[in-house]
Amino acid sequence: MSSKSLGVVDYGSGNLRSVRKALEASGATTVLISDVGQLAAVDAVVVPGVGSFGDCAANLQATGLWEPLREWIEAGRPYLGICLGYQLLFEASEESPGVKGLGILPGTVVRFSSSRLKVPHMGWNTVSGLKGPLFCGLPEETAFYFVHSFYPAPADPLLASSLCDYGGPFAASVSKGSLHATQFHPEKSQAAGLAVLRNFLTTL
């Protein structure tokens, strides 16, 4: 695993330092990607996320990485999306009306709607129904750390590789071939999060 190079996409936002530290603690070598020419040298791409859907999309387009990212994923090359890096895979988001997502997966990103809920959904929450390579060796119910006000609603519920309940169930992660993405933050989820990152590395 240590020989694998992961490109962490720098779009001018995101908690890049903590994501890189967690990946390196899991056995990866990381490279910050800010230019399309750097993609050829990495084995997988990681898109972390802090900020708004619209700003992230605009920044990726401004750096020339938007279409190359789409092409990377459509070619079946390994991708890990975290938080916004998960949401951007879908067609659109209620957070930024009129802004198109990558459209890799059918569905939209919606806001928690219940007036009883504290939004953003922040802190530890139980994730269940774990399936797929990211969760190998983890208990059927495992707690992860979340910070978000919006979440993807996949058109195909079978894409979900885990579920979390916050005013109702939502897809806490998805997996499809070499594409994996989580709404929770593995880099903030201590041992369980590091296990998810190590499991991602084993898929490469």
**Mean pLDDT, each 10-residue run in order, the chain (204 residues):** 82 82 94 95 93 93 96 98 97 97 98 90 98 97 97 96 97 98 97 98 96
Q: 150-154 and 5-9 as β-strands: parallel, antiparallel, unpaired?
A: unpaired
**Could you give the residue numbers annotated as active site?**
83, 185, 187
- pLDDT computed for residue 11 by the predictor: 82
Q: Where are the domains of the chain?
A: 5-202
Phi first, then psi: give them for residue 124, nearest 5 degrees: -80, 140
Burial of 94 (0-12, 13-18, 19+ CB in 10 A): middle
Task: Supply the pTM of this predicted model.
Answer: 0.96
Q: Which two tokens stand for residue 99?
A: 């802004």
Q: Which of 76, 128, 125 is nearest to 104 (CA)?
A: 76
The answer to whether the beta carbons of residues 46 and 82 sit under 8 Å apart is yes
Query: Buried b / exposed e across 161-195, counting CB within 10 Å, b at 16+?
Result: bbbbebeeebbbbbbbebbbbbbbbbbbbeebbbb
Residue 157 amino acid letter: P
Phi first, then psi: give them for residue 31, nearest 5 degrees: -135, 130
Number of residues that this document lists for the chain: 204
CATH of domain 5-202: 3.40.50.880
